[in-house]
A = this chain, B = another copy of it.
Amino acid sequence: MIRNVVLGRVSDEVDLAALEAGLQALRELAVPGVEIELHAGVDLGLRAGNADFAVTVDLADEEAYRAYDENAEHRRIRLGLLGPLCSSIERVQFRLPTAGPASSGRTMGGPARTR
C-alpha cells in the first residue's frame, strides 16, 4: 500500500468556501478501476504555524498511484480548483507496512501516570 500525502497553504485572500469545495470534489473523486481511500480536511488550528489543508490518499501500489495522479478529473480538481488557491504545496508518497502485527501502526501506552 502507498499513502499519498499533500499539505497545502492557501493565499491570504482565499475564500475558505472555495477551498472546501475543492476538497469535497476530491472526496467524491472516483478513478476507474482503482480503489482509493481519500481523506481531506482543513487545519483545526491546534498548533501555530500549521499549513491550511491536508489530503491523504491510500492506494494499492505505484500503478494505482499513477492512475490516480494522471486521472483527468483529478487533474481538473488539482489544477483548476485547488491549485489557484495555493501559495505552497508539499507532497510525499510513502509505503504503508503490509499486513502483519506491526502493520496496524497502532500502539497503546499503559495507563496514564497521575501527575
Interface residues of A, Cβ cutoff 8 Å to B:
2-3, 5, 7, 9, 27-44, 46-47, 49-54, 56, 62, 65-67, 69, 90-97, 102, 104-113
Contacts and interface: CB of A to CB of B under 8 A. Distances in A.
Given A33-B112, A112-B67, A41 B94 contact: yes
A42 B33 CA distance: 27
In the complex, the count of this chain's copies comes to: 2
A3 B39 contact: yes
Contacts of A104: 37
Contacts of A33: 109-112
Contacts of A102: 27
B93 A32 contact: no
